């Protein structure tokens, strides 16, 4: 058999083809030890220590070890023909447990390359249609084992090395000389620079634009604006990623006035020279989207302010002119400017949207009047950004989207269209503000599309785990997407065929810019002025955004408490310098906050005006509202202040406490940071004093402690934070995020959870279970996308053409039911639309018709497997006499007419149980009663005459099981709202699908433990056959059990020859048993089974870690596939053996 004939049979790429591999190795070992093999293929266990393939020997053959002759390793031929081949290692066992593995300077990966496969294949008999190869290893004698090492550590380290994305590079580099290695590194660097581009997308470009007084320079050059990089995390800086990767910034820019076309063109040309691409939005769209939807609707919700609070707690209320007069009398306030908190960019003269403000007792609800218009503008704004990107982004590029203003942008980039033919770019979405709890997030009417867009990204980032935790909970409860932990500790979401990484990356200040500010003359002058102004006082400093969530009122209450309780007000020994920044982005909130702050500041200053604190015009609270503070302004305050005080109620990124620590790095008195526990930076600063801003006494005590702290203690606290503050600039933060994206692309995923874990059963595991999962972590790759339809149809039709005279059962198709043929609702979604995942519903007419056509073909065998009971399935397939139907995953089943002999040798006779009637009779009575009760129009008896139902009871006394289990289940049913006992004959079921997802899983986990303990003496197990339920069923029951029996019948009909076409499709981990059962059948088939002529496709619905070799995205894609197969179904007359079988069966 040579490769040319293989190419004639297929396409020579190994798709749908399998090879049986026998391994032989020479290895002398010590007494009591044995040998095994593991590798990168499913049949080799995916390097899982619990799934190794054991090798055998005999006294005559020792020290040669070999795989079981009757059960070789079945490997997908495509894997052998791939560039990497199949990696494998030998390992040493003691008492059946892996103790050590092959050791060398690098992890041993013996690849079976394309040449090796061709060489072995050419050694076989050319007349044989089977493919069996033998791999012999002679160098294994040089491998040294050490029984002294901890086996668990050895294997875990081995897996870690193999799962490392650098492992492949190590093997290649080890064979290169030093000059070759240098060339390889340079070539790789050149490749990255030439093929990968980074597009940083944000609402405000990190650019500062100011208007020139004159449009022209002294030389007559037209220059209407001055442009410079702003103070921002994402601006261009020294040592930034833009030095190694071509980087382009995309965003809007504001200059404080309406620009002419000439000015826009000039600005765009100059920004392009700075690698910036401006987006010019229509004025009405920008106003309604940014000031309306982003700042008025989204901003409060993302800071955990729900709609009722938003309306009734004056977060968004218009006030009378008296409030405006208060604010207008304060300091140097420019109410017509705002600074973006992330980019640091000033947005001059941001005109407010028409909020339809009405005066009504100073309180008017405004945003909900225009909510629809605001959201439409928000969609239009995101689409405009997408349109700009469509024209410049390629498949190899990375698009990094920043913050909540552009939450819909990832979904637009992922949606293919005429203007967006490419959707394969890598997308990062980073949220710089807090993410709310799922309950608050749902108050947004558009919460679902916003969340769906976020998971369109490849990586979603946050500044704190608190925010990420709320996001993960929202994806679970709104979208039904669970999170998993990958090798290396990365949290991931599996979204259809993509893996989404959720990362938390912390960022600090820019040390270079801080060092420049620390030595700047203006900084030193201002710091000296502050010290001179309050020479006899301790200085507490606070800088906040002028909004209620900044906690300014709480800060004033705590400061008043400090002055009174510690008598500092009487002494005049302390002063609070408070600056509130008026950005202008939330004007009504700012006005309300400003009024509150002025009132409280005036009260405190008046209270202590006669106690020496007010002498010379020096108030005990130095309060001012400003449009912004430059870095020099802030550093001067940090140098002068003894304590930094931050008391927000909700807050995202705030780097000012970190600036304070760094600014005082060389001062003898390090100063103290007092920070709210609700601030993001509180989790970063170990040396700070953390307080609850709502507890005024606690905050006052912390301030007093900070003011009286010794120099030694302050220095100790500074040292705890200074290293982090000094070593995490934005350039490092950017590289960390991109590195996480690289790992998401390159690293293999962690294995799916073991089947015996509670997670597999749809139950959240306990700490013990989690620990066992961590120990059994293995390498497990995702399947490949399913082949194009024409390739599948070719294989489908070829099976009949190549079958010769024996066309019966030349095609076998096995389908899971819920999640494969029928869409099912996810249990993890909190607000479910149905009372069960699939019960009571049927597949679409298109799917049912395709199943009917396929099953009516005499050359086809069709099996449907479901976890639902026979009663719940009802008459779904009652008219399809040739469909083999397995309910309760095979506990109760019927054979299709075309596969059922006159007397089934596999039917298990029911055991006579205690009582007057047999178990079988009780089953029939229960089914009849339930059918009469549940079915309005019961099917006619003729509909059920084509087949008989069989069941597996494994000689289990179900009456005794029920007597023990039912009282336990009843207690949990009363205790857990939304749960109920489910009819399951035979067996016992309990559904928690209608309960709260987290509560239901916790209760199910405990119920499982109690049932397993109570039923330990019976041959049963507690498992999850369908999501949101647990059942007591025979211990050996799984979906692969009847798949084995099906193929026994198929092989009997085909004279032990394998069918020419096999397709098995399933969506859950429980369906993996079907794939494994099929692999075992093929591996154990006889020497003349016709393996070379078989095309088999094991398919998972959605991309997930699975033994399946292919995946398909959704139930809709399954429907399209079945419809195409049905349309292509052969219309040739039935084969003679099929006709004979039909006559004999009828007779």
Task: Report the range of poorest mean pLDDT among 397-411, 451-465, 891-905, 980-994.
Answer: 891-905
Q: What share of the chain is helix, strand, coil (3-state, %, to 5)?
A: 40, 20, 40
Assign 928 a pLDDT band (cuts: 50, 70, 90).
very low
Beta strands in 220-336 (DSSP E): 225-229, 246-252, 276-278
Q: What residue has token string 């620009």?
A: 259
Task: Report the range of poorest mean pLDDT among 232-246, 263-277, 549-563.
Answer: 232-246
Task: Report the range of poorest mean pLDDT among 70-84, 323-337, 539-553, 673-687.
Answer: 323-337
Residues 6+ apart with CB under 8 A from 742: 165
Residues 6+ apart with CB under 8 A from 308: none
Nearest-angstrom CA–CA distance, 1101 and 815: 11
pLDDT higher than 80, residue 834: no
Classify residue 1137 by its DSSP letter.
H
pLDDT at 217: 65
Q: Of 682, 613, 616, 590, whose CA–CA distance to 645 is shortest?
A: 682
Contact 526, 579 (CB under 8 A): no
Task: For residue 212, give both structure tokens.
Answer: 């020139």
| pLDDT (tens digit per residue) in 1056-1077 | 889 999 999 998 888 899 999 9
pLDDT higher than 90, residue 577: yes
| pLDDT (tens digit per residue) in 137-183 | 754 433 333 333 343 334 334 334 433 433 333 222 222 233 332 34
Nearest-angstrom CA–CA distance, 931 and 810: 36
Which residues face 36 on adjacent strands? 54, 91
Question: What average pLDDT does the structure give for the chain?
Answer: 76
Q: What residue has token string 């600014």?
A: 663
Nearest-angstrom CA–CA distance, 1040 and 889: 9
Nearest-angstrom CA–CA distance, 801 and 9: 12
Contact 321, 391 (CB under 8 A): no
Nearest-angstrom CA–CA distance, 254 and 291: 14
Q: DSSP 3-state assignment of 737?
A: helix
Q: Of 903, 794, 843, 866, whose CA–CA distance to 1074 is shortest?
A: 866
Q: Work out the percent of the chain whose per-residue pLDDT is above 90.
A: 33
For 752-800, the DSSP string reads PPPTTSTTTTT----HHHHHHHHHT--B-PPPEEPPPHHHHHHHHHHHH
Strand order in the sheet with 980-982: 980-982, 988-991, 1029-1034, 1020-1023
pLDDT at 883: 92
pLDDT at 524: 94
Q: What is the mean pLDDT of residues 12-31?
A: 84
| pLDDT (tens digit per residue) in 978-1022 | 888 877 767 788 888 888 878 888 899 999 999 999 999 998 899
Assign 103 a pLDDT band (cuts: 50, 70, 90).
low
Nearest-angstrom CA–CA distance, 115 and 112: 8
Q: What is the mean pLDDT of residues 1036-1045?
A: 89
HSE, side-chain direction, 13 A CA sphere, residue 147: 11
Q: What is the mean pLDDT of residues 581-599?
A: 88
Assign 563 a pLDDT band (cuts: 50, 70, 90).
very high
Assign 611 a pLDDT band (cuts: 50, 70, 90).
low
Q: What is the mean pLDDT of residues 129-137?
A: 68
pLDDT at 111: 36
Nearest-angstrom CA–CA distance, 1144 and 214: 101
| Torsion angles phi and psi, residue 154, rounded to 5 | -60, -50
| Torsion angles phi and psi, residue 357, rounded to 5 | -75, 135
Q: Work out the percent of the chain whose per-residue pLDDT is above 70.
A: 73
Which residues face 501 on adjacent strands? 459, 492
Helical spans, DSSP H, in 66-150: 77-81, 114-122
ω before 109 within 30° of 0 (cis)? Answer: no
Contact 605, 493 (CB under 8 A): no
HSE, side-chain direction, 13 A CA sphere, residue 928: 7
Taking the C-alpha atoms of 559, 565, 569 and 574 in order, what is their torsion angle to the nearest 10 degrees? Answer: -60
């Amino acid at each position: 058999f040579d490769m040319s004939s293989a190419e004639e049979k297929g396409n020579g790429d190994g798709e749908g083809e399998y090879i049986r591999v026998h391994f032989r190795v020479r290895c002398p070992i010590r007494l009591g030890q044995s040998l095994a093999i593991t590798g990168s293929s499913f049949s080799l266990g995916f390097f899982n220590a619990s799934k190794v393939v054991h090798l055998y020997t005999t006294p005559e053959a020792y020290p040669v070890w070999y795989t079981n002759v009757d059960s070789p390793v079945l490997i997908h031929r495509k894997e052998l023909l791939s560039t990497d081949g199949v990696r494998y290692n030998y390992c040493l066992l003691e008492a059946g447990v892996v103790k050590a593995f092959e050791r060398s300077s690098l992890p041993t990966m013996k690849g079976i390359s394309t040449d090796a496969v061709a060489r072995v294949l050419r050694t076989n008999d050319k007349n044989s249609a089977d493919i069996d190869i033998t791999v012999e290893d002679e160098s294994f004698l040089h491998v040294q084992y050490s029984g002294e090492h901890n086996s668990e550590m050895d294997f875990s380290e081995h897996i870690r090395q193999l799962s490392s994305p650098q492992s492949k590079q190590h093997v290649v580099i080890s064979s290169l000389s030093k000059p070759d290695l240098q060339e390889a590194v340079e070539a790789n660097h050149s490749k990255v620079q030439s093929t990968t581009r980074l597009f940083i997308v944000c609402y405000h470009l990190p650019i500062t634009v100011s208007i020139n007084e004159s449009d022209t320079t002294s030389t007559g050059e037209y220059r209407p604006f001055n442009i410079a990089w702003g103070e921002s995390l994402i601006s261009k800086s020294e040592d930034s990623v833009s030095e190694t990767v071509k980087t382009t910034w995309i965003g809007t820019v504001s200059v404080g006035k309406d620009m002419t076309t000439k000015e826009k063109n000039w600005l765009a040309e100059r920004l392009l020279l700075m690698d910036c691409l401006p987006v010019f939005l229509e004025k009405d769209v920008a106003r309604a989207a940014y000031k309306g939807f982003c700042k008025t609707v989204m901003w409060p919700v993302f800071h955990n302010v729900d709609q009722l609070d938003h309306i009734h707690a004056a977060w968004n209320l218009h006030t009378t002119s008296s409030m405006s007069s208060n604010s207008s009398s304060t300091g140097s306030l420019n109410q017509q400017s705002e600074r973006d908190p992330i980019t640091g960019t000033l947005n001059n003269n941001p005109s407010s949207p028409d909020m339809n403000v009405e005066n009504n007792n100073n309180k008017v609800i405004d945003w909900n009047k225009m909510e629809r218009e605001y959201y439409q503008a928000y969609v239009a704004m995101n689409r405009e950004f997408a349109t700009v990107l469509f024209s410049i982004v390629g498949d190899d590029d990375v698009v990094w989207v920043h913050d909540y203003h552009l939450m819909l942008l990832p979904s637009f980039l992922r949606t293919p269209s005429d203007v967006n033919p490419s959707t394969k770019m890598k997308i990062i979405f980073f949220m710089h503000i807090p993410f709310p709890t799922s309950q608050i997030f749902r108050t947004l009417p558009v919460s679902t599309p916003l969340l769906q867009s976020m998971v369109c990204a490849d990586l979603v980032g946050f500044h704190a785990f608190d925010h990420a935790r709320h996001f993960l909970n929202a994806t679970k409860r709104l979208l039904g997407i669970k999170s998993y932990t990958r090798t290396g500790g990365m949290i991931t979401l599996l979204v259809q065929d993509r893996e989404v990484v959720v990362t938390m990356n912390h960022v600090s200040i820019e040390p270079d810019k801080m060092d420049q500010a620390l030595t700047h003359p203006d900084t030193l002058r201002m710091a000296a002025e502050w010290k001179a102004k309050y020479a006899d006082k301790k200085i507490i400093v606070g800088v906040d955004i002028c909004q209620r969530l900044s906690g300014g009122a709480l800060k004033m209450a705590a400061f008043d408490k400090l002055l009174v309780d510690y008598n500092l007000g009487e002494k005049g020994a302390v002063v609070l310098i408070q600056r509130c920044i008026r950005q202008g982005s939330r004007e009504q909130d700012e006005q309300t906050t400003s009024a509150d702050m002025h009132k409280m500041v005036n009260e405190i200053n008046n209270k202590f005006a006669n106690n020496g604190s007010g002498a010379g015009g020096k108030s005990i609270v130095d309060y001012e509202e400003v449009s912004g503070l430059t870095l020099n302004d802030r550093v001067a305050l940090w140098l002068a202040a003894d304590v930094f005080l931050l008391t927000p109620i909700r807050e995202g990124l705030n780097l000012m406490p970190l600036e304070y620590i760094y600014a005082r790095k060389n001062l003898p008195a390090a100063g103290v940071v007092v920070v709210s526990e609700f601030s993001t930076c509180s989790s970063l600063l170990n040396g700070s004093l953390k307080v609850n801003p709502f507890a005024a006494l606690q905050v006052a005590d912390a301030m007093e402690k900070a003011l009286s702290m010794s120099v030694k203690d302050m220095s100790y606290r500074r040292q705890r934070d200074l290293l982090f503050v000094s070593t995490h600039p934005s350039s490092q933060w950017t590289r960390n995020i991109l590195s996480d994206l690289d790992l998401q692309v390159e690293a293999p995923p962690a294995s799916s959870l073991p089947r015996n874990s509670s997670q597999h059963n749809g139950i959240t595991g306990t700490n013990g279970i989690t620990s066992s999962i961590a120990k059994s972590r293995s390498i497990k790759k995702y399947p490949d996308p399913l082949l194009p339809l024409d390739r599948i149809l070719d294989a489908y039709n070829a099976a009949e053409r190549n079958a010769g005279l024996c066309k019966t059962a030349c095609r076998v198709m096995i389908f899971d039911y819920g999640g494969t043929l029928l869409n099912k609702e996810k249990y993890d979604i909190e607000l479910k639309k149905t009372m069960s995942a699939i019960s009571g519903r049927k597949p679409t007419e298109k799917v049912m018709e395709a199943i009917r056509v396929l099953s009516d073909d005499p050359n086809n065998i069709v099996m449907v497997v479901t976890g639902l009971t026979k009663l719940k399935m009802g008459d779904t397939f009652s008219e399809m006499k040739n469909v083999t139907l397995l309910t309760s995953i095979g506990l109760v089943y019927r054979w299709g007419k075309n596969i059922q002999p006159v007397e089934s040798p596999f039917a298990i006779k029911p055991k006579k149980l205690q009582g007057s009637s047999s178990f079988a009779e009780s089953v029939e009575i229960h089914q009849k009663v339930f059918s009469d009760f549940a079915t309005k129009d019961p099917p006619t008896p003729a509909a059920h005459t084509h087949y008989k139902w069989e069941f597996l009871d494994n000689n289990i006394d179900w009456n005794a099981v029920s007597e023990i289990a039912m009282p336990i289940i009843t207690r949990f049913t009363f205790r857990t709202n939304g749960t109920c006992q489910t009819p399951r004959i035979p067996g016992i079921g309990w559904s928690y699908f209608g309960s709260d997802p987290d509560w239901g899983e916790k209760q199910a986990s405990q119920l499982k433990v109690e049932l397993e303990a109570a039923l330990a003496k019976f041959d049963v197990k507690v498992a999850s056959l369908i999501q949101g339920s647990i059942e007591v069923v025979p211990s050996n029951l799984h979906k692969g059990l009847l798949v084995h029996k099906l193929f026994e019948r198929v092989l009997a009909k085909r004279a032990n020859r394998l069918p020419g076409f096999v397709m098995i499709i399933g969506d859950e981990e429980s369906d993996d048993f079907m794939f494994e059962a099929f692999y075992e059948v093929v591996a154990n088939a006889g020497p003349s089974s016709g393996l070379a002529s078989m095309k088999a496709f094991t398919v998972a619905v959605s991309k997930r870690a699975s033994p399946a070799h292919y995946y398909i995205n959704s139930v809709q894609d399954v429907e399209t596939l079945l419809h195409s197969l049905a349309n292509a179904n052969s219309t040739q007359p039935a084969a003679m053996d099929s006709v004979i079988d039909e006559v004999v069966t009828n007779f």
